[in-house]
Amino acid sequence: QMQLQESGPGLVKPSETLSLTCSVSGGSISRYYWGCIRQPPGKGLEWIGYIYHDGSSNYNPSLKSRVTILLDTSKNQFSLKVRSVTAADTAVYYCAGASDFDSRPIFDIWGQGTMISVSS
């Protein structure tokens, strides 16, 4: 059974870059979409972006200028970088895998999530 595990810093200083690594186990990363979703404390879910197994990517326009998702097939991992963070980027960050349904992603595999706080 495919599983995802996030690893992140826990705390990032304002204006710095948030880095999250998502490790895939139990299956190949060379399938599916791989994405990131975040959830501020006590709030709802916000889609950040995804990368397809061919390397193409799609980002939320609200974050697009600050976000990059990269795929590392040799390590069965993908990663998220969010630049120039502020307190508004404080959230639980989830890694997720999405099956391809008629060329659309449906997130059916989720990591446990990792809390990342932005504070000096």
What residue ranges bind another protein (CB under 8 A)? 37, 44-47, 58, 60-62, 94, 96, 101-102, 104-108, 110-113
CB of 45 to another protein, least distance (A): 4
For another protein, the closer of residues 7 and 16 by Cβ is 7
| Closest listed residue to residue 115, CA positions, set 33, 49, 39 | 39
Q: Which is nearer to another protein, 83 or 110 (CB)?
A: 110
Beta carbon of residue 95, minimum distance to another protein (angstroms, whole number): 9
Which residue number, 1 or 119, has a Cβ lying nearer to another protein?
1
Alpha-carbon separation of residue 26 from 1, 5, 55, 105, 106 (angstroms): 5, 11, 21, 20, 19
Q: Is the dihedral of CA 88, 94, 95, 96 positive or negative?
A: negative
